[in-house]
Structure formats: C-alpha cells, structure tokens
Amino acid sequence: PYPLPVYDPPHVRADMHRLHRGTPGFKVVDSSVDAKVDLFEWMLKSQFCWVPPGQRYGDPRRHIVGAALGCIPVFTIPNGRFLFDELLPWQGMSVVVNRSDLPKLPEILARYSSADRERMRSQLRCAW
C-alpha cells in the first residue's frame, strides 16, 4: 500500500562538469563521453584531486590512489565520512567543499599556499 521511495542522488558530478569543465587550471573529464585520459599521469601532476561521492553516495576510494600519488583530496561528500577516517586524519590532509560551494572551488583552492599544500602532502606521505 505504500510506495517504496526512489533514491535519486544529486548529480554532483554533472555540477562539477558544468561549472568547471573550461576553468583554467582544472581538468574535468566526463568518462562517458570525453576521450580517455591517463588518470595516474594527471594525479601525479595535479595539486588537488576532486573526490565526488561514490555510486549512490557509497564510499569513494579514488582519493586513496590520489593521496598515494601526492594529490590532495578535495571531498564533496554529504555525510563527511571517508575511508579509514577512524585511522587517518583526513581533516589535516584534504579539503572538504560543500556542494553549494562548488561554484567557488577555484577561489577556495587558491587560498591554500604552497606551504599549506606541502604540509598536507607531508601528512599524506606519512599516511601511506
């Protein structure tokens, strides 16, 4: 007698693509339509790597690879829970950006100095 709720996750990935596909200094790829890129190569030469929610807001794991390559994770995860967060101090080695702040992402990331980024990378190296 009661309909089951249909889960329709917000399209955070589509938001990022729409907002920052052409933003200077950003590499935003929609893997369903864009040419394939070498993920590892881009992570190695990037300062920050955006971590969208996993499928159905499941646990995203791409930040583990990015962190191991020295790419500072930028999380947009609604519940604020990250893989191994009970063991790793993500708050000191990552950036958390609310979905509503994605339009301001270039300005938010520009606030991190070279020293800030090196401190965060140093913590990432200790974690791995």
Position 3 scores a pLDDT of: 45
Tell me how many helices (H) and strands (E) the chain has.
5, 3
Of 49, 64, 54, nearest in space to 105 by CA = 49
How far is 26 from 15, CA to CA, in rounded Å? 14
Pairing of strands 48-51, 95-96: unpaired
- DSSP-derived secondary structure for 41-58: HHHHT-SEEEE---GGG-
What digits encode the pLDDT tens for the residues 76-126? 876 666 777 777 788 889 999 988 999 999 999 999 999 999 999 999 888
92, 123 contact by CB (below 8 A): yes
Provide the token pair at 62: 């791409």
What digits encode the pLDDT tens for the residues 29-86? 887 788 888 888 888 899 999 887 765 544 557 778 888 888 999 988 766 667 777 7
How far is 48 from 56, CA to CA, in rounded Å? 23
Gyration radius (Cα) of the chain, Å: 15
Residue type, 20: H
Position 79 scores a pLDDT of: 64
